[in-house]
Amino acid sequence: MAETSILDSTLSLPGSGVSDTVRQDEDRPKVHRVMPGDTLWDIAKFYFDDPYEWYFLQQVNTIDEPVLLQPNTLVDLTLQDAFPLSVLYLYGDAWLIEGGRKVALEQGIAVDEGDIVETGRGASLTLEMSDGARAVVPSNSRVMVNRDGERGIRLILVKGEVESQVPSRQNSGRPYNIQTTSGVLGVRGTRFTVSYGDAAVLSSVYEGKVAVQSQQMSERAQVAAGQGTRISQQGDIDVVGLLAAPQLLSVTSLAGGDLEVLVKPIAPASGYRAQLTRDAQSLDVIADQRSTAPEFIFPELPVGDYYLRVAAVGNQGVVGEYSQRLIPHFSTGVTVTREGDAWRFDWKRQNNTPHKLELAFDKSFDQPLISYPPATTGAVLLRQVPSGEVYWRVVKLDDKGNITSVIDSGLLDASG
């Protein structure tokens, strides 16, 4: 197209002057009115002195055909820089590392180019970029935030893990890479996890694609959704399939606020991972556990609703697909009250979760005086309890009637 179409079109924009040079940021109008023959390539070259910025213009304006623009329509010219990032969610202790000093992070604080963030034990931090991309930094991780090109992001993972969620509209434009000493992973998709330990770099791709390249430049791989990688210290890249999402067998609120999670075992899993979050997107992570057994206990969890997601870990350490469920967590402590000559035991339970109330003179409960499985979810009223000190406990049973856990326990003084 002729350059005059660009120049002429700028005349119709209020407050914008005609110039035969590249527009500076302070002079650049916020929109461009399309003239016949305009293309995103030419618009980007005129306003930004870089025709390849048409990728970003296409994303910002959701334009399907960059060379077939409808005359008289408006093109948004406000390209966003990814910086600064901001702390979207924070749970536990996290710090900004400045000159060897640790400065405590708070929700809403800006994180800029060259900053290093670190999370403490049991903590989780979510960073949000200006275009909506997010990076979740879980417990015991350290990440340096750098630029990648003029508007891209490069997260240097020093230790620990990063889970990235990148808007799909950004995939073909702004660079987004995660770097370790063993390799670089570049986003070609929307959701993936990278963890870095002593032995290798591990990744899991849940949506889209990720380009993987060893630091020695010796190997490259394209990893699709449902796959993961292991990059050795020597630069070897192994691509593996993710294990299927495991089935949740039970989620039980226990006494004292503990939450018990049981997962159906998967072969050939070497372990399991469970996370609790406050949101369905798994950005506000409040607890994260790994276990070699398919069971977890989250201690002293406040009452409320949570999203629980669990995954199986493969033999190479790659975390598999997650299953997710919204769970209510409630107080399950047993309330014991005296009502005349009877004792009332009341606790929250469900019809499909069998329990049993037991009384005994010995706290080992080897020879229970009473072993009563309630037929309903209502309170249990016991009369003619023997005098003296009597131990009690409420236990949870499996389908065969075997005790799986103690819900709550205590001591009755029935002498009065």
Q: What is the pLDDT of residues 121-156, one digit of tens each?
A: 999 999 998 778 899 999 999 999 998 877 788 999
Same domain, 229 and 112: yes
Which run of H or E residues covers position 164?
A: strand 152-165
pLDDT in tens, 325-371: 999 887 777 888 888 889 999 887 766 778 999 999 998 999 999 99
Residue 176 near residue 170, CB atoms below 8 Å: yes
Same domain, 194 and 100: yes
Could you tell me which residues are beta bridge partners of residue 126? 89, 136
Looking at residue 15, its pLDDT comes to: 29
Looking at residue 26, its pLDDT comes to: 56
Number of domains in the chain: 4
Residue 98 carries which DSSP code?
Answer: E
- Return the CATH number at 169: 2.60.120.1440
- Per the confidence metrics, is the pTM higher than 0.75? no
Domain final residue pick, 34, 53, 76: 76
Residue 334 near residue 311, CB atoms below 8 Å: no
Task: Compute the distance between CA of residue 13 and CA of residue 144 in angstroms, rounded to an integer.
Answer: 41
Q: Where are the alpha helices (DSSP H) in 278-385?
A: none
Looking at residue 218, its pLDDT comes to: 73
Q: Is 128 left (phi over 0), alpha (psi -120 to 50) or beta?
A: beta
Structure-block tokens of residue 346: 């009341």
- Return the CATH number at 57: 3.10.350.10
Same domain, 258 and 325: yes
Domain final residue pick, 200, 215, 241: 241
Same domain, 237 and 252: no
Same domain, 107 and 226: yes
Same domain, 360 and 390: yes
Residue 383 near residue 392, CB atoms below 8 Å: no
What angle, 0 to 180 degrees and rounded to 10, lies between the N-to-C axes of helices 40-48 and 54-61? 110
Residue 328 near residue 305, CB atoms below 8 Å: yes
- Return the CATH number at 362: 2.60.40.10
In 10 A of CB 177, how many CB atoms?
20
Looking at residue 351, its pLDDT comes to: 62
Same domain, 325 and 339: no
Range of the domain at 377: 335-413
Same domain, 143 and 237: yes
Same domain, 255 and 401: no
Same domain, 123 and 209: yes
Same domain, 160 and 235: yes
Domain final residue pick, 212, 241, 270: 241
Show the low-confidence residues of the chain (pLDDT under 70).
1-27, 59-60, 79-80, 168-174, 188-189, 217, 350-351, 414-416
Looking at residue 4, its pLDDT comes to: 34
Same domain, 181 and 262: no
Looking at residue 223, its pLDDT comes to: 93
Task: Compute the distance between CA of residue 387 and CA of residue 398 in angstroms, rounded to an integer.
Answer: 32
